[in-house]
Each structure stands twice: as C-alpha cells, then as structure tokens.
Amino acid sequence: MEQKTKQYEKIFLFLVFAFFYLPIIYVVIFSFNSSKSLTTFTGFSLEWYRKMFKTRTIMESIWYTTSCAVIATVVSTIVGTVTAIGLSKSRKALREAINQVNNLPMLNPDIVTAIGFMLLFTSLRIKTGFTTMVMAHIAFCIPYVILSIMPKLRTLDPNLAEAALDLGCTPLQALWKVIIPQIKPGIISGALIAFSMSFDDFVISMFTTGPGVNNISIYVYANVKRVNPTINALSAIIVYVITIVLVIINVVPMIKERKKKKNELQNI
C-alpha cells in the first residue's frame, strides 16, 4: 500500500487531527485560567487544581472510579481467561451459546444493558451502591476479555497441552506453564480493554450505583450545568495521565528495541 502522500492528503489529515486535539488543548489551557471564564484567558493560575484537590466529592469520585476499575479488571480478566480456555475445549454447541449470550451486552446499547441490571437488582431487593456497580462492571467486561483471548487460543497448537502432560505436567501446571504464557498478549489486551471500559463507563454506572457513590463520569454529568472550571482541572489531569501511560506503553518497547540493536552491533 505504501505510496507517496500528496499535499492535499496531508492537509486533510492535519485537519482531522486538529479536530481531535482542539478540545483537549482547550481544556488543558483553561484549566490554568485564573478566572472562572471559559471564553477568555485572564492569566495563569493553579487555582482550579487546588480547588479540585480540596473538593471531597471529586476526590471520592476518583477513588470510586479507580477502585471499581481495578476490581472489575482483575476479576473479569481471571474469569474471562479461565472461561476462554474452558470454551476452547468445549463442545461447539456450548461455545456458540456462550458467544451468543456474550453478544448481548456487546451489541445492546449501554442504556438497555444498564436498565436490565437496575431492574434485576431492584427486583431482587439488593440495595444499589458500590458493590452493585462493580458487579455490573464485571458483567460487561468479561465478554470483552473472552473476545480478546479466543483468537489467541484458536491459533494455539492443540497438541501443546498434551505435550506438557506427556512431559509430566499436571493439568494445572500445563495451564500455568504452557497455555497461559502463549495467550498472554490476549490476556493483557483483554485486561486493558476491561480497565478502560470500566474507567470510562458512565451509563451503566449511573443506573447501577446508589446514593453517594459517584464515579468521575457521573460527577461530570451532574455538575456540568453550572460553570465549574474544577472539571477542567480534573479533565486535564485525566489527559496527562493517559498521555503519559500511552507514551510509556508505546515508547518503552521502542527504546528497548533500539538498545537491543545497539548491543547486537557491539557484540559483532
């Protein structure tokens, strides 16, 4: 596919990227604004960051969001991995059935899934709160984990586990020492998807949480009506964290690669 990029193509791409980054840059700039205005920049200050750290509800929402995402990621990754491995050895009918069921939360609009959870919890008379929110998050994350692991399992040599058993592994050891390392990339990407889905979730959280328990999304939704530049500071911090994390994820392997090449050159 590699071809020369023409001038107008470059301009087009530039405009698309400008569209993507305009609001992000805007939020970051105005998080440093000294006044409450969202239209004119009156001077540099860290006022809104200070305010943000002092607002208890914001700090709570960050805590709830993070802890919920961590729990949901750990649980859904473990359950998803175990289930995916089991599915790869199951009868086709069961596999198909589970796939269809997993499609429900993935194809249904979030709001429909969310209402389903809410109806379930209230009719079982379970009090909604942090626990119900985490359960709902686990429930919608597992299908994505399974989805990202299954392709890796499908390309796995079916004799691998048998070879491990043949060489004296117990089934559990075969799982841990042979199969899991082979599907590790799938597990990691599944965990990343689960974390970001849970961290970013708004709709399902809103319908499954109880009074007093808000995540970042719910907080933003509830407080956006009034002019409130602390949200700018909060958004800006999210932008910083994600940028740093993504840069590390993508740049570190590149540096490692370069070092490796350097070492190889020196060894010659």
Among 128, 187, 207, 214, binds another protein (CB under 8 A): 207
Cβ-based nearer residue to another protein, 46 or 245: 245
Q: How far is the CB of 49 from another protein (least distance, A)?
A: 15
Q: Write out the binding residues for another protein, residues 98-157 only, by CB under 8 A.
A: 98, 101-102, 104-105, 107-113, 115-120, 122-123, 135-136, 138-139, 142
**Residue 79 makes contact with another protein by CB under 8 A:** yes
**Residue 71 makes contact with another protein by CB under 8 A:** no
Q: How far is the CB of 237 from another protein (least distance, A)?
A: 10
Can you tell me the distance from the alpha carbon of 184 to that of 205, in angstroms, rounded to the nearest whole number? Answer: 29
Among 34, 55, 66, 90, binds another protein (CB under 8 A): 90
**Residue 17 makes contact with another protein by CB under 8 A:** yes
Can you tell me the distance from the alpha carbon of 72 to that of 259, in angstroms, rounded to the nearest whole number? Answer: 36
Q: Provide the total of helices (H) and of strands (E) in the chain, helices listed first.
A: 13, 0
**Residue 257 makes contact with another protein by CB under 8 A:** no
- Give the H or E element holding residue 112: helix 110-123
Residue type at 171 in one-letter notation: P
> Residue 44: what are its φ and ψ, rounded to 5°?
-80, 135
The pair of structure tokens assigned to 69 is: 């995402």
Residue 200: count other Cβ atoms within 10 Å of its Cβ: 14
**Residue 217 makes contact with another protein by CB under 8 A:** yes
**Residue 253 makes contact with another protein by CB under 8 A:** no
**Residue 82 makes contact with another protein by CB under 8 A:** yes
Q: How far is the CB of 154 from another protein (least distance, A)?
A: 15
Cβ-based nearer residue to another protein, 9 or 44: 9
**Residue 23 makes contact with another protein by CB under 8 A:** yes
Place of tokens 């929402």: 61
Q: How far is the CB of 264 from another protein (least distance, A)?
A: 17
- 68 Cβ neighbours under 8 A, 6+ residues apart: 130, 133, 134, 137, 198, 205, 215
Residue 33 CA, distance from chain mean position: 30
Asked if 257 contacts 42 with a C-beta cutoff of 8 angstroms, the reply is: no
- 156 Cβ neighbours under 8 A, 6+ residues apart: 88, 179, 182, 183
**Residue 188 makes contact with another protein by CB under 8 A:** no
Stretch of 47-55, 66-74, 97-105, 260-268 lying at the interface with another protein (CB under 8 A): 97-105
